[in-house]
Amino acid sequence: MVFELDLTGITDQTALCQYLARKFMYPFPTRGLDAAISLISDLEWFGNTRGHLVLVRGADDSSPIAGDFVSLFPNILDRWRTQQVPFIVAIEEKGDHLKGALAGANEFMETAGRLAWAQPGTGPVDVVVHS
């Protein structure tokens, strides 16, 4: 399955959460980015076991929510990795702010992977960032 996202014009987290709910067709109403992580890490309502590709545009340094948005994906990708279903994110961006947000989220995942109770394989993930 391919999901094409365009973050242009999304100005706050509430609007981002509503946009993600529409694009990923959540099966029930939700609130917040934690719900987005949980549901995008699942997507079982689509019945697709072959994998997912998420293409993202409009995530540039001028976007007020782009950093929050890209920070979701290391956690989401790590969960998909444990399910052994391909989940690929390709982000078209302009500027270095997003790379920093991704690096910070990946550092968090690396730290989480070293915890004694961590799920085997938890750690940093690859995200394609095309400038």
Backbone φ, ψ for residue 28 (5° rounding): -155, 160
Domain range list for the chain: 2-130
Q: pLDDT confidence of 94, banded at 50, 70, 90? A: low
Place of tokens 């993930």: 125
Each residue of 43-56: pLDDT tens digit? 999 998 899 999 98
H or E element at residue 66: helix 66-83
Each residue of 56-90: pLDDT tens digit? 888 877 777 888 888 888 888 878 877 888 888 88
Q: What is the pTM of this model?
A: 0.79
Helices and strands, number each (H, E), in the chain: 4, 4
Give me the pLDDT at residue 82, please: 78
pLDDT at 112 over 80: no
Residues facing 90 on adjacent strands: 55, 128
Q: Could you tell me the sign of the dihedral formed by the alpha carbons of 125, 82, 75, 116, in that order? A: negative
Q: Rounded to an integer, what is the distance from CA 93 to the centroid of its chain?
A: 15
